[in-house]
Amino acid sequence: MPASSLLLVVACALLDADGRILLAERPAHKSLGGLWEFPGGKVETGETPEAALIRELEEELGVVTKVACLAPLTFASHAYDSFHLLMPLYVCRRYEGIPTSREGQRLAWVRPNKLRDYPMPPADAPLIPFLMDLL
């Protein structure tokens, strides 16, 4: 089996006061465009997953949080055709600011039992049961 490159990305189940989870729609021009995902992004060289998530949440959504407010829940490990994705999922209930689309992506606050109503990338969908159990 040929070795594929490992891509480390981080994702967040950002929760509001009503226990809803924020989803973001991938832009149509990107790979997996039109699918809904948990906010986050690539971990850059020299960055911890937590630092990457804090940076991505601020860049994509304009919200500010701290490492102490990020609770690791589970992770996804998924083989795509050209790379292998490893994605830790954190839960965040405490943050400052109102999530706003800063990259033109559509956003939706979704109840845990409605997450399956949104088409997701193959790596994101297996995370849903963990969130349903938690919430």
Q: Please report, in tens digits, the pLDDT of each residue of the chain (135 residues total).
A: 455 799 999 999 999 999 999 999 998 888 888 999 999 999 999 999 999 999 999 999 999 999 999 999 999 999 998 899 999 999 999 999 999 999 889 999 999 999 999 999 999 999 999 999 998
> CB count, 10 Å around CB of 50?
19
Distance between CA atoms of residues 109 and 130, nearest Å: 18
pTM for this model (two decimals): 0.92
Q: How far is it, in rounded angstroms, from Cα 4 to Cα 116? A: 29
Q: Which domains does the chain have, with CATH numbers?
A: 5-134 (3.90.79.10)
**Beta-bridge mates of residue 67:** none
How are strands ordered across the β-sheet holding 21-25?
Answer: 36-37, 21-25, 107-110
